[in-house]
Amino acid sequence: MRPSPAKSSCPERDRATLERELVELISGQLLDVAQGLEVDSSLPAAGLDSMAIMQLLVLIEERYGLWLPEADLVKENFADARALAALLAERLAGARNGERSNGR
């Protein structure tokens, strides 16, 4: 069981920054994308499968201090970096406001 940080350990980030960071994280550490990855590139088409999603969740926790609840693990949230950044922005804002973000 992972502890839930009361507040996010990362500084406030805007959505565009999150999008860029996620593209760098995914393309740099998870996927071998020859043509490059853009914020609106399909992550499943680029090779983001269930195993890569699990690795991505660990990277998100390490980088942002945020563990996503099971309810957030739906294909729409992992369609592209833009959708994932929107989810993270929402969860990080909730963490800054003291809301539990891990559903545990």
3-state secondary structure the chain: CCCCCCCCCCCCCCHHHHHHHHHHHHHHHHCCCCCCCCCCCCHHHHCCCHHHHHHHHHHHHHHHCCCCCHHHCCHHHHCCHHHHHHHHHHHHHHHHCCCCCCCC
What pTM was computed for the model?
Answer: 0.79
Q: Which two tokens mark 27?
A: 């393309």
Domain ranges (residues) in the chain: 15-96
Residue 102, pLDDT > 60, answer no
- What does pLDDT average to over the chain? 85
Higher pLDDT, 63 or 97: 63
Average pLDDT over residues 14-21: 94
Tell whether domain 15-96 is in CATH 1.10.1200.10: yes
Could you give the CA distance from residue 27 to residue 33 in angstroms, rounded to a whole number? 6
| Nearest CA among 104, 92, 16, 27 for reference residue 61 | 92
Q: What is the pLDDT of residue 41?
A: 95
